[in-house]
Structures are given as C-alpha cells and as structure tokens.
C-alpha cells in the first residue's frame, strides 16, 4: 500500500515539475477527433476530452496553435465525387466545417478557463477573426490558444497542408499530428496485422515510401522549414503531454 502511495506521489510531483521542451507548438486535429468512431458531427464528451488535453498542455508553458479538420461533417474531395458539386465548391464547404469545429473547441476551452481565439483563412466576422500572422503572434503573447480554421483559404489543399503552412508562418518548433493510431505504419494497421510501426523517419523516407500519414505538400513544407513532426494517438491519455515534454511517443519525422 505504501509503495502505491509513493508511486502516486512521485507521478504527481513529476507532472507538476514537467515543462515543455518547445516554445511554440502546433497541434493538428482531424475532424473525426470530435465524434465517436464511425459517427458524424460533434460528440460532447469527445469534445470535452480533447479540450481538457489542450488545457493540460497549456499549463506546461508552450504557446499553442491548433489546426482543425472538418471530416466529421464533410470532406470536399470525396463529397464532390459523390455529388454534382464541383471540387472547388465542395472544398469551400469543408472549410466552413472546420470553422464549426474551431468554434466548438474555443467555447469548450473557454469554459475550462483557457483563453482562446479562432482565426480563419476565410472571413466569417460574426464568428471569428481573419487570420493575420501578426495578430496570431500577439494572441500567443497574451497567453491565448490560437485555433486556425478555414484551411489555407484555397480549394484543393488539405488541412494537413494548412497545418504545415501555418507552422512555417508562425515559426513553430514542433507539429503534432494527432491521429487514432499509435504513429506511422508501413501499411494500414487496421487492415494489415503485419504493418510495421516506425519509431523515426526522415522527411525523404516518408516521401519515397509514399506513406499516407500526411500529404506530400505538407511533408515538403515541414522539410523546407525544418519543423519536426510527431504522429501520435490522441486517444491515449498523456501522449501529447509526453511529446511536448520531450519524451518518446509515436513516430518522429525530421531531417536525416
């Protein structure tokens, strides 16, 4: 019994003493993070769980930016293929979906006491601010989480590319790609039981092996800006905190 108490006390002390290894980080969240597996829209409990994780990492000291996807509502490319709506219009509809998610995260974080601002690449003044780099940097200085919505503001680009673009613009030290799997695999671990989980990869290896964890434009942008990427499972409690504190988790992608 006493050993359990000592172990608990040590863990509590460690978490209090832990601090971020990075000055500024960007967290890329997929739209599917906001709903239960196989479902649609926003699930309240999933939203609160994500917001709590974000609030926890803010306590470690880094400036935090978030790029949200919109796949829990609509994916422009696949929706265009299933309908008579052209790809460019479908992509703009997907951008609006990311704004819905961003506002939901903002309100939930604010309820948890974490000051937050939503900045969008497309103008929706009734709901959020327009993305301006200097404005985002000022929000960081004020201790606010900056949620980046509306993708890049252009069709034919994914929110992964948006994450890499914003990470480069905002001089981010680390990009965290939050997924539902443990990291980058040689194949889809859900359909290939022999898929290998990579511990580390270079940008070039991701491109040459054609690994599907992020699109090639996003990887190339991070490579050009020398921004390391950690791919991890957001649903494993403590993963994001470990990554920010410099502990090994998921798959690290960086220059060779």
pLDDT in tens, 99-141: 999 999 999 999 999 999 999 999 999 999 999 999 999 999 9
- Distance between CA atoms of residues 72 and 98, nearest Å: 9
Question: What integer is the mean pLDDT of 193-199?
Answer: 89
Q: Is residue 171 part of a domain?
A: yes
The residue among 244, 252, 247, 240 whose CA lies nearest residue 199 is 252
The pLDDT mean for the chain works out to 91
**pLDDT at 35 (0 to 100):** 85
Q: Is the pTM of this model over 0.85?
A: yes
192 pLDDT band, cuts 50/70/90, is confident
Question: What integer is the mean pLDDT of 8-37?
Answer: 76
Q: Is residue 3 part of a domain?
A: no
Q: Reply yes or no on whether the pLDDT at 2 is more than 80.
A: no
Question: What integer is the mean pLDDT of 59-78?
Answer: 94
CB 102 within 8 A of CB 149: yes
Q: Is residue 4 part of a domain?
A: no
pLDDT in tens, 27-58: 999 998 898 877 889 999 999 999 999 999 99
- Distance between CA atoms of residues 243 and 174, nearest Å: 9
CATH number of the domain bearing residue 36: 3.40.1160.10
18 pLDDT band, cuts 50/70/90, is low
Q: Is residue 10 part of a domain?
A: no
**pLDDT at 5 (0 to 100):** 54
Q: Is residue 178 part of a domain?
A: yes
Q: Is residue 6 part of a domain?
A: no
- Distance between CA atoms of residues 188 and 181, nearest Å: 10
The residue among 165, 164, 205, 166 whose CA lies nearest residue 184 is 205
- Distance between CA atoms of residues 175 and 253, nearest Å: 10
What strand order describes the sheet that includes 229-233?
129-130, 116-120, 145-149, 63-68, 24-29, 174-179, 229-233, 251-254, 200-202
Q: Reply yes or no on whether the pLDDT at 179 is more than 70.
A: yes
- Distance between CA atoms of residues 43 and 231, nearest Å: 23
Work out the angle at residue 146's Cα, subtended by the Cα atoms of residues 246 and 73, and round it to the nearest 5 degrees. 100
Q: Reply yes or no on whether the pLDDT at 8 is more than 90.
A: no
Q: Is residue 5 part of a domain?
A: no
The 3-state DSSP composition of the chain as helix, strand, coil percent (nearest 5) reads 40, 15, 40
Q: Is residue 2 part of a domain?
A: no
- Distance between CA atoms of residues 25 and 176, nearest Å: 8
Q: Reply yes or no on whether the pLDDT at 13 is more than 50.
A: no
Q: How many domains does the chain have?
A: 1
User: Domain range holding 235?
Assistant: 21-254
The CA distances from residue 44 to 51, 109, 127, 136, in Å, are: 11, 13, 20, 27
């Amino acid at each position: 019994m006493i050993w359990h108490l000592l172990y608990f006390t040590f863990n509590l002390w460690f978490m209090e003493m832990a601090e971020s290894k990075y000055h500024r980080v960007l967290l890329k969240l997929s739209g599917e993070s906001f709903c239960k597996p196989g479902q649609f829209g926003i699930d309240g409990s999933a939203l609160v769980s994500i917001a709590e994780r974000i609030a926890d990492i803010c306590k470690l000291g880094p400036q935090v930016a978030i790029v949200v996807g919109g796949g829990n509502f609509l994916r422009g490319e696949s929706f265009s293929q299933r309908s008579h709506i052209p790809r460019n219009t479908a992509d703009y509809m997907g951008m609006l979906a990311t704004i819905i998610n961003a506002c939901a995260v903002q309100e939930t974080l604010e309820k948890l006491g974490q000051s937050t601002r939503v900045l969008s690449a497309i103008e929706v003044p009734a709901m959020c601010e327009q993305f301006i780099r200097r404005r985002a940097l000022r929000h960081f200085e004020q201790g606010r989480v900056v949620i980046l919505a509306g993708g890049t503001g252009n069709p034919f680009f994914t929110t992964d590319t948006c994450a890499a673009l914003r990470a480069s613009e905002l001089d981010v030290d680390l990009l965290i790609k939050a997924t539902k799997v443990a990291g980058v695999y040689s194949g889809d671990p859900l359909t290939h039981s022999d898929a290998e989980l990579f511990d580390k990869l270079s940008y070039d290896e991701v491109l040459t092996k054609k690994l599907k964890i992020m699109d090639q434009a996003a990887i190339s942008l991070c490579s050009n800006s020398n921004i390391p990427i950690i791919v991890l499972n957001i649903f494993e409690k403590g993963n994001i905190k470990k990554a920010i504190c410099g502990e090994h988790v998921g798959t690290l992608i960086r220059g060779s």
